[in-house]
Structure 1
Amino acid sequence: MDKELRILIQKCVKQDKEGQRELYTLLSPVLYGICLKYMKSKVEADDVFQDAFIMLFQKIDQYRFEGSFEGWAKRIFVNEALEVLRKKQRRLHVAIEDFNFNTDNEDNSKRLDLVLTQEELLNHIRELPDHYRMVFNLYVFEDYSHKAIANKLNIAVGTSKSILSRAKSVLRTKINAELKKKVS
């Protein structure tokens, strides 16, 4: 490792803002590229990039000057991207379990995994009317309570519950239609 990078890392360990800025400038192109490779959208990549850099600066004192610093930093970014994807997958699985699918098969959840991709399900969610999609996403993917949704969207709690119910009904209808086409 060259002396300049070692000094820069030591500055970051001391939480020196200028050192952090220099390290950020030095590594940003490579590390942002990792985020873009793992995430579907630029917005998601930006979020992972920001969170991973915060984590890098929080953990930089754990770097032992053994091996490549860039490799160490890349692992943080890859792990952060994978964690975001795992959380998204878990939330999607919970969302799938919340539906009653009628495909005339005994194990609908396994059948759903076989014939409906994550992208297809997300496309159906994107097709929801705006207010349905907002409430559905806040409740299912962001783990907001109906009270929190009501406060955020300036609606009644009962309205939030009603909109969620209608959103699920619309999704159930669309997905059942698609599954019937695929199964037949």
Structure 2
Amino acid sequence: MVIEAILKKKNSLKVISLHKNYVSLIKKVRKGNRKAQHEMFELFSPKMLSVCRQYVKSNDVAEEVMLNGFLKVFTHLDSFKSEGSFEGWIRRIMVNESITYLRSEKKIHFKDEAAIDNSVEHVAYIETALEVNEIQKLMDRLPDGYKTVFVLYAVEGYKHSEIGELLQISESTSKSQLFKARKMLQSLVTNENKISYGTH
């Protein structure tokens, strides 16, 4: 199965309708109700920790990033207009918080590069029988810049123009980083498969 499809399936947004009880929870959190905050945290934290972990290599740091993200969720809840997916709104906060952390630690570096020809870029889809946790370990071996662009594009579904704006890079640099990330990940997957099947 293609790696990007595996990761998207794992991270797919659940469309949670804003039914009466859910709206009630949001209202309570907006009023600073601690019990409601805890309930909301318990509801979304497992998936949001997974989101942060895709960008941040340490489980402990990913948890710290997630907690900072939830602080922003609670303090900026008024900006959610009850349109679209609430989970998607929280997820965007977590993505932004992860990128803020990487930038603050100077872990992501980019230089403007020529665009990769689209016909070449889209050849590099990676097929594997590895499990999600094994794929994550291989992704952790990518440079942070490669990995960040790969996750934003292949998992979150951002366009190169959106990635460029978010990371303050050009579209051509985003495309180049994605191409290099796929190429490096393909090499890592190939080596892992050789080890798994005893041919290495």
TM-score by length of 2: 0.45
Higher relative contact order (CA closer than 8 Å, sequence separation 6+): 2
Instruction: Write 1 or 2 for the structure with the bigger share of helix.
Output: 1
